[in-house]
Structures are given as structure tokens and as C-alpha cells.
Amino acid sequence: MQESQLLPAFAAMHWDVTRSTQPKGCVFEAAIRLFVQVGHIVPSQYEALCRRYDITRIKCVDFRNRPDLARKDINQWTEERTHGRIRDVIPMGIVDRDTSLLLLCASYTKLHFLQPFDKKKTVCCPFYLPVEAPQIQMMYQRCQMKLAFQAKLDCDILELPLSNVHTKFYILLPRKPDGVARMEMKLSRSVLESVLTPGKMREELVDLYLPKFRYELGIICWDALVKLGVKNLYSSGKADFSGLGGSGSLFLSRVFHHVCFELDEGQSDAVPAFSATDSNAACMVSNDGKQQIPKVFRADHPFAFCLMDERTGAILFIGRVVRPLQLTGVEVG
């Protein structure tokens, strides 16, 4: 892809994920914006780009004189943008009087399954960690799903159907209870695609045990972006924000990334699809007339997951579940 095509391509994908009214297979809210000191004049060329590609415009706040009020303004805008799903996104101490430019990227995701889990079948089960096994809420359903084994990662990969066929949710479950770290070290785009390409995964009758979880975490992205080669943007005199009307004094003070990912039984008002458990059957009959014995996919130890757009191949979200309890906090990374 040529450089001139990057902005239109990313803008189209961003609009499709965040603004399109078509079913996405999940609730996805995003609040992405640059915040700069009051008095900064934004060039008309940049404003024109924002209008053309539906990019949120820069917002001016008074970091210098009223940093706490600036923080509250940012939090209020984020709460409105995400329809109340993300509140108090910027904690105290993130912005101060010396803040020059703040980039906020906040997102909320909650999956909508093609076949929601039955809440009556959610029970407490142990989740096995190296030195403990805390009790967690484990969901259950039996239905036809795509399943595959990846030898290099030594893990089973399951596709859990969502309400939108274009959005795919995959669970990567190591065969060994303590194998998630080794699996991640070997995980790459090419290895993942070797399994997810059409025809590689087989339709199986599966007894799925999957924990409920909700993670909400704020991260100051220092090291991660530096490792990607983003260095000069943080330095006064080296950062080039001339396209935003910035002189040599304008630089990126903070990149704050906030994520909230929620997975539970699914929409309670959804129309349930047929399930093998509806008829209390122990097995199903395949196309060749043979009975199918369900395969057990029990996510009762740390695993990874990813949410992918099938049309573009873009990974919308990737993460790991180490302890499926509600976690909140702020990390510097």
C-alpha cells in the first residue's frame, strides 16, 4: 500500500468499526482525540482532513492554568463519546501544567454471540494458576464450532461465532496449564494465519467452558511506542508537529491508552439459535450418518484471544486472560 493510501484506508476501517450502523458482532465504542493547550491555532489544512475523513478534531484545554479542570473536560468528553461506558478515563497525575500535547485512545468492547450462553448454566469453577486455583464464573454451551490444533504453539484454537459473520473471535488455549507464556513467544501473524485460513479449521460439536471476565486498564504508552521506533515525538525541539500548526515547542507529553473488554453470556434479549442441549442430546449426527461425540474445550487455565475483521485481516483486539476476575488500574509501559 502506498503512503498516500494509508490515511483513506485507515479512516475507512475506523469508520466501519466505530461508526457504521451495521451489526459488528460486538458493542464497540472508541474515544480517540488529541488535546492541546488553549490558544493553539490548528491549520485549516488539518481541519479539512478531519472533515474529509471524519477524524475527531483537536480539542483545546487549559493544561497550563487549570490542569485538573482540563482532566475533567477530557473525562466528560470520553464519557459522552462512549455513551457512559467509560468514566473517569484520565486519573489524577496523568496531566499537569507542563503537558504540551496529549493523545487519548480509549475503547470499550463487549461481544455479541450468535448463540448467547444460558445464564442458568453458568457455575463457579476453579481456574488453575501456578500456585492457586481461584473460583471463577464459568459459562457453558454445546454447539457446532470451528476448531483446530496448532502444533508450533501447542494450543487449540476455537472460533466462537459472533452475530456478525465478518467479525471473528478466536480463543487460543494452550494444551499445558502453564503454557500461555511460551505460546505467546512463538505467536506471530504468519503462524496465526496458517490456522485461520479458510479450510484449516474443522466444524466440530464442542462442549465449551469459557470464563466470564471484564478487564479495564489504563496504560501510559512509553516503552511500547519507543520499541516501535516512535521516539522524537516525545522530545521538545525534535518533534515535528508542523502539520498541526506546532512550532518546535509542541511535543507529545503523554499517550494514554485505555481499554475495557467485557465477555459474559451475551445479549439476554437475543433470539437463541438451535443448540444440541435444547434437546438434551448427548451427541449429534453428522452428514455421513455417524454420531458426533462432543469435544471438550475447557478454558480453565490462562489463554489468549483475538478479535479480527475477516474482510481486512485487521486484528481489532488481542489479549490474554491470566486471572478472569474484574481488574482495574493504571500501568506505565
Tens of pLDDT, residue by residue over 14-63, are 777 666 555 567 788 889 999 999 988 888 888 888 888 877 789 999 99
CA dist., res. 327 & res. 333, Å (int): 17
Q: What is the pLDDT of residues 94-134, one digit of tens each?
A: 999 999 999 999 999 898 898 999 999 999 999 999 999 99
Query: Given the DSSP bridges, would you call strands 135-150 and 155-160 parallel, antiparallel or unpaired?
Result: antiparallel
Length of the chain in residues, anyone? 333
What is the pLDDT, as a whole number, of residue 1? 66
What is the pLDDT, as a whole number, of residue 150? 94
Query: CA torsion sign, 259 to 138 to 294 to 154?
Result: positive
Q: For 3-110+214-262, which CATH class?
A: alpha beta
Domain ranges of the chain: 3-110+214-262, 114-212+276-332
3-state secondary structure of 151: coil
What is the pLDDT, as a whole number, of residue 260? 92
Assess contact for 94 and 254: CB atoms under 8 A.
yes
Average pLDDT, the chain: 85
45-70: burial string, b at 16+ Cβ within 10 Å, e else: eeeeeeeeeebeebbbbebeeebeeb
CA dist., res. 171 & res. 254, Å (int): 32
Superfamily for domain range 114-212+276-332: Alpha-1-antitrypsin, domain 1 (2.30.39.10)
Q: What is the pLDDT of residues 176-215, one digit of tens each?
A: 999 999 999 999 999 988 888 878 899 999 999 999 998 8
CA dist., res. 7 & res. 12, Å (int): 8
CA dist., res. 261 & res. 110, Å (int): 6
Q: What is the pLDDT of residues 237-280, one digit of tens each?
A: 888 888 888 766 788 888 999 999 999 998 643 444 444 444 34
Domain 114-212+276-332 in the same topology as domain 3-110+214-262: no
Q: How far is CA 191 from each of CA 200, 302, 317, rounded to the nearest angstrom? A: 12, 20, 17
